[in-house]
């Protein structure tokens, strides 16, 4: 059983990142444009980057002139107690991709942030041509833009990023209260997100997790995502302290029911 709140393990992640050096030696840095990584792999079961991993990736990318891109579709906009996970882990990528949180999921919208050097590279063309001649069918859609502006205003006015950071210890403690329940193999938390690994049934990997998701929704009004037999919980940043307790109490009932 383990908890991962701030990636507190020894910096074995730095050694893991050194695999990139092997790829550079194998293929040559000139053939590698960028490295794309989620600071926390959410869709695969809430897997925070090991300590030292992101910083070592930054060092290797700088050494070989490779761009480092953070996919922050899940981790961005307060989920880990900061505007972006890059702030939490103290690593500045060259690009950050984002979506979902920018409009609180109300309207589809996505975007990308880039460092000044990348921006400047597109500003070197002839004066009679647009700097970056591109576009998508729904770029800058007025409804999505309005939703994005309203969401950002609420994040600031209600201090939701700071709220998530304050609730993180309580959220982690509540998640860890499920330790020892039948079939629970591992529990991980980071920010306001938790991953709970359940033992797979011998005849059907993923079946226990899917049943837990269905029971949670239909019997306890709890919506969970599953990645195989891992339950992933990522409640809204406005969740109250009492609701955190209620959430994990219900999840515990679900886990017992599918044991």
In terms of domains, do 111 and 183 share one? no
- Please give the pLDDT value at position 7: 41
Residue where one domain finishes, among candidates 130, 157, 184? 157
Of the residues 137, 157, 177, the one at which a domain ends? 157
Q: For residues 118 and 151, what is the distance between their CA atoms, to the nearest angstrom?
A: 27
The answer to whether 161 and 155 have CB atoms below 8 angstroms apart is: yes
The whole-number pLDDT of residue 140 equals 87
Segments of the chain assigned E as strands: 34-37, 40-41, 47-48, 67-71, 95-99, 110-114, 184-189, 194-198, 225-227, 230-233
What's the CATH number where 24 sits? 3.40.640.10
Asked if residue 55 and residue 90 are part of one domain, the reply reads yes
Kindly state whether residue 198 falls inside one of the protein's structural domains: yes
Q: Please give the model's pTM, rounded to 2 decimal places.
A: 0.89
Structure tokens at 24: 């550079």
Give the residue among 164, 31, 1 at the shortest CA–CA distance from 87.
164
Is residue 10 over pLDDT 60?
no
Position 6 in a domain: no
Of 137 and 113, the one with more pLDDT: 113
For 179-200, how does the pLDDT look when each residue is reduced to its tens digit (9 = 90+)?
999 999 999 999 999 999 999 9
- Of 128, 157, 186, at which residue does a domain stop? 157
Tens digits of residue pLDDT in 212-238: 999 999 999 999 999 999 999 999 999
pLDDT grade for 137, boundaries at 50, 70 and 90:
confident
Residue 80's pLDDT is 96
Same domain assignment for residues 143 and 164? no
Judgement on whether residues 64 and 176 belong to the same structural domain of the protein = no
137 within domain boundaries? yes
- pLDDT at residue 3 tops 50: no
DSSP state of 240: -
R_g (Cα) of the chain, nearest Å: 21
> For residue 225, what pLDDT is reported?
94
* Per-residue tokens: 191: 């920010």
> Does residue 118 sit in the same domain as residue 26?
yes
| Rounded Cα distance, 235 and 148, in Å | 20
The enclosing domain of 243 has a CATH number of 3.90.1150.10
Examine residue 4 and state whether it is found in any structural domain, yes or no.
Answer: no
Total tally of structural domains belonging to the chain: 2
Residue 224, domain member (yes or no): yes
Asked if 46 and 171 sit in the same domain, the reply is no
Q: Are 17 and 58 in contact (CB under 8 A)?
A: no
Tokens linked to 145: 């833009």
Range of the structural domain that residue 230 is part of? 160-257
Residue 135 and residue 189 in one domain: no
Q: Indicate if 148 and 166 belong to the same structural domain.
A: no
């Amino acid at each position: 059983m383990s908890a991962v709140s701030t990636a507190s393990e020894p910096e074995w992640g730095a050694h893991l990142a050194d695999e990139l050096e092997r790829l550079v030696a194998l293929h040559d840095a000139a053939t590698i444009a960028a490295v794309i990584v989620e600071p926390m792999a959410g869709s695969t079961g809430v897997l925070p980057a090991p300590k030292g991993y992101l910083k070592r990736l930054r060092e290797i990318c700088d050494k070989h002139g490779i761009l480092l891109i953070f996919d922050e579709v899940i981790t961005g906009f307060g989920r880990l107690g900061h505007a972006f996970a890059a702030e939490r882990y103290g690593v500045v990528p060259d690009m950050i991709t984002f979506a979902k949180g920018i409009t609180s999921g109300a309207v589809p919208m996505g975007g990308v942030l880039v460092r000044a050097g990348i921006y400047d590279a597109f500003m070197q063309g002839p004066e009679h041509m647009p700097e970056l001649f591109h576009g998508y069918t729904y770029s800058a859609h007025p409804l999505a833009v309005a939703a994005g502006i309203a969401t950002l205003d609420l994040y600031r006015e209600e201090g939701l990023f700071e709220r998530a950071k304050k609730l993180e210890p309580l959220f982690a403690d509540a998640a860890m209260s499920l330790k020892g329940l039948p079939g629970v193999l591992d529990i991980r938390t980071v920010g306001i997100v938790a991953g709970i690994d359940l033992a797979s049934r011998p005849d059907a990997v993923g079946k226990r997790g899917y049943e837990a998701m269905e029971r949670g929704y239909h019997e306890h009004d709890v919506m969970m995502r599953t990645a195989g037999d891992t339950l992933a919980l990522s409640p809204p940043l406005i969740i109250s302290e009492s609701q955190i307790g209620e959430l994990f109490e219900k999840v515990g009932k679900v886990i017992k029911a599918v044991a």
